[in-house]
Every structure is written in structure tokens, then in C-alpha cells.
Amino acid sequence: MRLIEKLKNKVSNNFALKKGDEYMQKQMPKEAVSEYLKSILKENRNTKTYLGASRAYKELQQYDKAIKHLEKAKQIDTFDYEIYYELGLNHLLNTEFEAATKNFQKTIKLNPDFLNAQIQLAISHELMDEPEMAYKIYEKIIEEKPDFIIAHNHKAGLLMSMGNFDEAARIFFDILRIDDTYSRAYLGLGICFDKTEKYTQAVRFYKKYIAQNPDGEATKSIASRVIDILSVVKERTDCPLRIAK
């Protein structure tokens, strides 16, 4: 009888876990949480269930609950790099940057080839106001994976935040040499040239970005900025020339 009961519980647990995964695919995290919790009640030693619940809670922005379930998963399997990665993400979203850094470092130790963890570690250092550390990480990733565009893009963004728009622009051009359809590079170039008052070039790259993202979230504000720049350029052109005496 005990064996039959165990089999029934396992079937019930697998069904709830599968149902939770299906709800997550449908972007229904609240319903997914309910199924994952049912699964945990049936079997509390399955890391997949705790990971599923944590991801659902993350979508609901309930980061403390997500972390709680991940800590339970870590007690079951201390060598699963995904658990540490998800812990890092939730601590990062919860503005607990030191905890995020430690978990991303652990993730990389368990899986040195996990590039997303390296990127998130660099972002953690940026948020901790340690730009030099972040820059070194981006440099290391690019050295090992020259075509990994995300690292180039984050490195350029870091340089922009430091006011180094000329160097950032060079990196965005490097990105376009790798992939000339990467629209964020066009936006980045537009901003860099805008900030350095090279308005003709700024408009050129803003327009390229808009052409690739007609319905993008930033498109409306970028289009408005293009109109502002064109009006400024026109005013300067219409001004009478001043003759030096």
C-alpha cells in the first residue's frame, strides 16, 4: 500500500509541476505558483519545483519568496549552478548587490562558460559603483568571445555612463561590424553623437534605429528628439553670419 501511495504522489507531483511549467509558458505566474506549491506539498525534494516556484515569484516581483524557495533548493543540491544564478538575479532585483555578486561568482565557479552569469556579475559591480571591475569583466568576455555582442553593448553603455562617448561610439561601430542589424548599436551611436553635439550624425543613426524599430518603446521619444535636433540645426542655419571685425 505504501508503494502505491508513493506512486500516486509522484504522478500527482509530476502533473502539478508540468501544469506549473505550462502556466509559466502562458505568462500566468500567479496560477503557476499555485501548481508549484501543490507539487512541493507532494514532494519536497525536487529542485525543479523550487526553481519553478522561484521563477514564478520573480515574475510577480516577490523576490523574498523567490529567494526563500531557492535557498531550499540549494539545500537539496549544492552544485546546481542554475540555483545560484537565479539567486543572483533575485538578489540583484531586490537591490542586494553584494549577495547577488557572491551568487554570480558561485555560478561562474560551477559553470565557467556561463556568459550570462558573467554579464550579470559585471552589472552587479556597476550597481555597486565599481565600474573598473565591471569594465574588466566585459573586457575578459570580449577577449574570449569577440563576437558576443551583449558584452560589447554593456561595455559601451558603461563608457557612456562615465561620459566617454567617443570610445563608446567606437564600440558601437564594432558591434555593427559583427551584426549590422543590431538596432541598439544605432541607438547608441545616435546618443553618443547627440551628446557630443554632432547632430547630423546623431539624426542619421536615430533614423536608422527608428526604421528598424517603428513600434519600439523608445521610438516615440527618439522621433521627438530628431524633430528637436532638426529645428535647432535649422535655427543655426537661418542665423545671419557674423563678420569678424
**pTM for this structure?**
0.88
User: Would residue 19 count as lying in a domain?
Assistant: yes
pLDDT in tens, 222-243: 999 999 999 887 766 554 434 3
Biggest CA–CA distance in the chain, Å, is 107
Query: Containing domain of residue 55, as a range?
Result: 10-72
Give the whole-number percent of the chain exceeding pLDDT 70.
Answer: 90
**Is 118 within the bounds of a domain?**
no
Q: Has residue 101 been placed in a domain?
A: no
Is 98 within the bounds of a domain? no
pLDDT digits (tens, 9 = 90+) for 9-20: 555 568 899 999
Question: Per-residue confidence at 217, pLDDT binned at 50, 70, 90?
Answer: confident
In a domain, 66, yes or no: yes
Residue type at 179?
A: D
What is the per-residue pLDDT across 13-66, written as a single tens digit (0 to 9) for each? 688 999 999 999 999 999 999 999 999 998 889 999 999 999 999 999 999 999
Report residue 80's pLDDT band, with 50, 70 and 90 as the boundaries.
very high
In angstroms, rounded to a whole number, what is the distance separating the alpha carbons of residues 60 and 28? 10
Question: What CA dihedral angle connects 159, 164, 169 and 171, to 10 degrees?
Answer: -40
Is 145 a member of any domain? Answer: no
Predicted pLDDT of residue 12: 58
Q: What is the dihedral of CA 123, 128, 134, 136, to 10 degrees?
A: -160
- How many domains does the chain fold into? 1
Q: Is residue 80 helix, strand or coil?
A: coil
Mean of pLDDT values over 73-100: 98
Query: Looking at the domain assignment, is residue 113 inside a domain?
Result: no
The answer to whether the CB of 15 falls within 8 A of the CB of 46 is: no
Q: What is the CATH number of the domain that holds 33?
A: 1.25.40.10
Return the closest-CA partner of residue 186 out of 165, 164, 210: 210
